[in-house]
Amino acid sequence: MKKKRAFLKWAGGKYQLVDDVRQHLPAGECLIEPFVGAGSVFLNTEYKSYVLADINSDLINLYNTVKLRTNDFVRDARALFHDEYNCAEQFYTLRQEFNTSKDVYRRTLLFLYLNRHGYNGLCRYNLKGEFNVPFGRYKKPYFPEAELYWFAEKAQCATFVCEHYQQTLLKAQRGAVIYCDPPYAPLSVTANFTSYHSKSFTTADQKNLAHLAYQLFNQNKIPVLISNHDTELTRAWYYQATLHQVKASRTISSNILGRHKVNELLALYS
């Protein structure tokens, strides 16, 4: 099966690791993802149904729009990928519009524009909740039309919800399988880059997620797979799981020399 790409660029996206994740995901009726991100695992698995959640309301609104208004969205988003919009002045004007707009549909269009024209495809907000990624200076940003249509087709068997990961997990029913891709633990003290959203993911959250995963399988027989960096800390958090080590390329470093393969963990509670 040829891997399908997400229509969003995404720091920490799982496109590279899809084969490893698929290999360790158990069979089930429904796949639940509390940290859906760009959706690479969703796009490259075959479950009957999906519950895909994220705390980022802009992301979830975008996915629901692509699912329900596919043709309108593709037509209107394409207009923002003309050359006239690929300059710093237009980028910052549209970023400001995004940060002040209350129009959900317009915000979804601008979110895709900012994602593809912003630096490194980052999704980052300041403490006021304003999107603050700078202009990316790409020669010709790619308009992901084919990827949008594939996502919309696949999304017909998915439910997208904006909520805290704990809410999503506690609603899981037997027969479901859960894949968690939380903001990763830092590899070092200086590498703490987990605040993609204004509500950052703390060490307490990491421990709580591991505890919930153990609880879900131990009490309800719902298997849970979690991905994270392979560190002493993460191994301590996931001591009750079966651990699988895989290698992945780091792509978040602004210094190309810093983009090297690192060890990641897939922790399976089953």
> Binding site: what residues are annotated?
10, 14, 54, 181
Backbone angles phi, psi at 19, to 5 degrees: -60, -40
How far apart are the C-alpha atoms of 182 and 165, rounded to whole Å?
9
Across the strands, what pairs with 246?
264
What's the 3-state SS for 116-141? HHEHHHCCCECCCCCECCCECCCCCC
CB 75 within 8 A of CB 81: no
> Binding site for S-adenosyl-L-methionine: what residues are annotated?
10, 14, 54, 181
Amino acid present at 171: K
Label residues 247-262 b or e (16+ Cβ within 10 Å = b): ebebbeeeeeeeeeee
How far apart are the C-alpha atoms of 7 and 105, rounded to whole Å?
17
